[in-house]
Amino acid sequence: MSDVTGDRSERPRSAHSERGVTPQSEDFSAWYNELVLKAELADRGPVRGTMVMRPYGYRIWELIQADLDRRIKETGHENAYFPLFIPESYLRREADHVEGFSPELAVVTHAGGRELEEPLVVRPTSETVIGEYMAKWISSYRDLPLLLNQWANVVRWELRPRLFLRTTEFLWQEGHTAHASAAEAWAEVQLALGMYESLAHETAALAPIAGEKTASERFAGAERTTTIEAMMRDGRSLQSGTSHALGQNFSRVFDMTFQNEAGELEHCYTTSWGLSSRMVGAVIMGHGDDKGLILPPALAPYQAVIVPIGRDAEAEPVLVAARDLARQIAAAGVRVKVDERMQLSPGFKFNEWELRGVPLRVEVGPRDLAASSALLASRLSVARSDKVTVPLDSLASVIPGRLAEFHDELYGRALRFREDHTVRVDTWDELVAAVETGFALALCCDSGECEQRLKDATTATPRCIPFDAEPETGPCVTCGSPSAYVTRVVFGRAY
């Protein structure tokens, strides 16, 4: 297959030419791909596996960014920026790390019109280059902890790319910290994962399970990897953020040492943690339905859309009233938009804003104006006819509360869906059946063989050893030998 795609002939037709998407229940994958394009979240890039984030999709990412950046700063981390190009030799220093990332690297061999002496790797992640500089900046225990974060693009060559979920280039933040002890580093790993969990719950209205990865699923170079695993509407898991204890693996190879209070030289303990534009995919697949996106209010580019209804002589006064209403609603801190495209029918607009997942819709027409009221509809309503009449002068005060309720409903729906699609299993057959539709909670040993057997049979993998589960031990559901973890492990098929 050619690396360069997207010539004019392949361009999908305009989003306006066809409405609707394949129903989710019919073909989840087609639903996702069509929705991303039709909701104008993203387009395929010109190079295979790359992506163009269109304004509507990028805005969701910006809102995720702003929220997470606030959490990162409030917990004492500082942003910095390290180079895109990493000397190939840096990556080779940590054996597991280079082994994990080598197959996915993009390499710059020529620059400024000549061949480079040493090829440069386009960063797939920045532990190595940041390790090199942390080593330079840290000399005493007084320099610790060193708490850095970077917002950046990274490149990992993907064989099976998917918009937002697995793209050759993606946007993320990567936290990198250095500490004086393993205990402090582990506390940092948990702090970072806690930020991701809070973001998922409070901002994205998702209900992921937080836990630790088994050995086979660890980050290349990490001693321990923690994760939040969110369930998508097809029952699959999306790893939505990870946080790693790197022990002294990177501090040893980059000679990152500090003088402790007793005057002795020690190697630092480091961590890294990342959350990416993949989170936009989590929002799409974790909430959407047959009609399209359902956006959590905190991440919705528009939290409410006003559709003015009226033709000819009636159009103008309705539009004037709609704009005035929008000003009042915006003053209440709500992101609101008036759909002023008078050439399009209200029905068309309803479909479009449902497809694009706007939480609340306000309809206002001549009869509403005469009654000094408007109709308020929620994207979570089952029937389009399910709307409430609200006096015009109280809309601005009603909407913020309705958005908060919308968030809670959406979170509750995600949590219920996960619970309804999670099964405790005690036999191999139950395990195989459960991962077809969601998560299985099973006791298991820590042999790679049992994991591989399940993967071969179902493509499912251990998603995590959950942090907040009841202690439980017993025979491995696959081989019968004693379970290796203190609790049941979450198994599922994953993106």
- Applying CB under 8 A, among 35, 63, 86, 246 the residue interacting with its own copies is 86
Furthest CA-CA distance within the chain: 84
- Residue 109 or 385 with smaller CB distance to its own copies: 109
For residue 295, state whether it binds its own copies (rule: CB under 8 A).
no
For residue 472, state whether it binds its own copies (rule: CB under 8 A).
no
For residue 14, state whether it binds its own copies (rule: CB under 8 A).
yes
In the complex, the smallest distance separating the C-beta of residue 97 from its own copies, rounded to whole angstroms, is: 16
Six token digits for residue 154: 């990274």
Q: How many angstroms separate the Cα of 337 from the Cα of each of 107, 360, 380?
A: 44, 11, 19
In the complex, the smallest distance separating the C-beta of residue 134 from its own copies, rounded to whole angstroms, is: 11
For residue 268, state whether it binds its own copies (rule: CB under 8 A).
no
In the complex, the smallest distance separating the C-beta of residue 481 from its own copies, rounded to whole angstroms, is: 37
Q: Quick one: how far is CA 147 from the chain centroid?
A: 23
Residues 324 to 383 in contact with its own copies, rule: CB under 8 A:
343
- CB atoms near residue 323 (< 10 Å): 13
For residue 320, state whether it binds its own copies (rule: CB under 8 A).
no
Binding range to its own copies, per CB under 8 A, among 76-84, 284-292, 331-339, 425-433: 76-84
Per the CB < 8 A criterion, the answer to whether 175 and 125 are in contact is: no
For residue 315, state whether it binds its own copies (rule: CB under 8 A).
no
Q: What is the torsional sign of CA 86, 91, 93, 94?
A: positive
Name every residue whose Cβ is closer than 8 Å to that of residue 37 and which is 6 or more positions away in sequence. 12, 15, 43
Nearest to 176 by CA among 138, 229, 232, 205: 138
Give CA–CA dist 361/127, Å, rounded.
45
In the complex, the smallest distance separating the C-beta of residue 85 from its own copies, rounded to whole angstroms, is: 5
- Applying CB under 8 A, among 107, 320, 331, 342 the residue interacting with its own copies is 107
In the complex, the smallest distance separating the C-beta of residue 277 from its own copies, rounded to whole angstroms, is: 8
**Which residues in 107-131 are b (16+ Cβ under 10 Å) and which e?**
eeeeeeeeeeeeebbbbbbbbbbbb
**Which residues in 218-242 are b (16+ Cβ under 10 Å) and which e?**
bbbbbbbbbbbbbbbbbbbbbbbbb
- Applying CB under 8 A, among 169, 188, 197, 368 the residue interacting with its own copies is 169
For residue 131, state whether it binds its own copies (rule: CB under 8 A).
no
- Residue 123 or 236 with smaller CB distance to its own copies: 123
Q: Quick one: how far is CA 157 from the chain centroid?
A: 19
- Applying CB under 8 A, among 39, 68, 98, 122 the residue interacting with its own copies is 122
Q: What is the torsional sign of CA 344, 345, 346, 352?
A: negative
For residue 148, state whether it binds its own copies (rule: CB under 8 A).
yes
**Contacts with its own copies: how many residues (CB under 8 A)?**
68
Residues 224 to 263 in contact with its own copies, rule: CB under 8 A:
255
Binding range to its own copies, per CB under 8 A, among 155-163, 376-384, 416-424, 456-464: 155-163
- Residue 16 or 384 with smaller CB distance to its own copies: 16
- Applying CB under 8 A, among 23, 70, 95, 139 the residue interacting with its own copies is 139
Give CA–CA dist 42/36, Å, rounded.
6
Per the CB < 8 A criterion, the answer to whether 209 and 302 are in contact is: no
In the complex, the smallest distance separating the C-beta of residue 41 from its own copies, rounded to whole angstroms, is: 11
- Applying CB under 8 A, among 23, 55, 412, 482 the residue interacting with its own copies is 55
Binding range to its own copies, per CB under 8 A, among 42-50, 216-224, 331-339, 435-443: 42-50
Give the DSSP H or E segment for 461.
Answer: strand 461-466
For residue 305, state whether it binds its own copies (rule: CB under 8 A).
no
For residue 74, state whether it binds its own copies (rule: CB under 8 A).
no
Binding range to its own copies, per CB under 8 A, among 100-108, 208-216, 235-243, 262-270: 100-108
For residue 78, state whether it binds its own copies (rule: CB under 8 A).
yes
Per the CB < 8 A criterion, the answer to whether 105 and 122 are in contact is: yes
Q: Which long-range contacts (CB under 8 A, 24 or more apart) does 374-380 make?
A: 374/325, 376/402, 378/402, 378/406, 379/294, 379/295, 379/354, 379/406, 380/294, 380/406, 380/409, 380/410, 380/413
**Under the rule (CB under 8 A), what is the footprint of its own copies?**
2-4, 6, 8, 11, 14, 43, 45-47, 50-55, 58-59, 61-62, 78-87, 89-90, 102-113, 116-120, 122, 129, 132-133, 136, 139, 142, 148, 152-153, 155, 157, 159, 168-169, 171, 255, 343
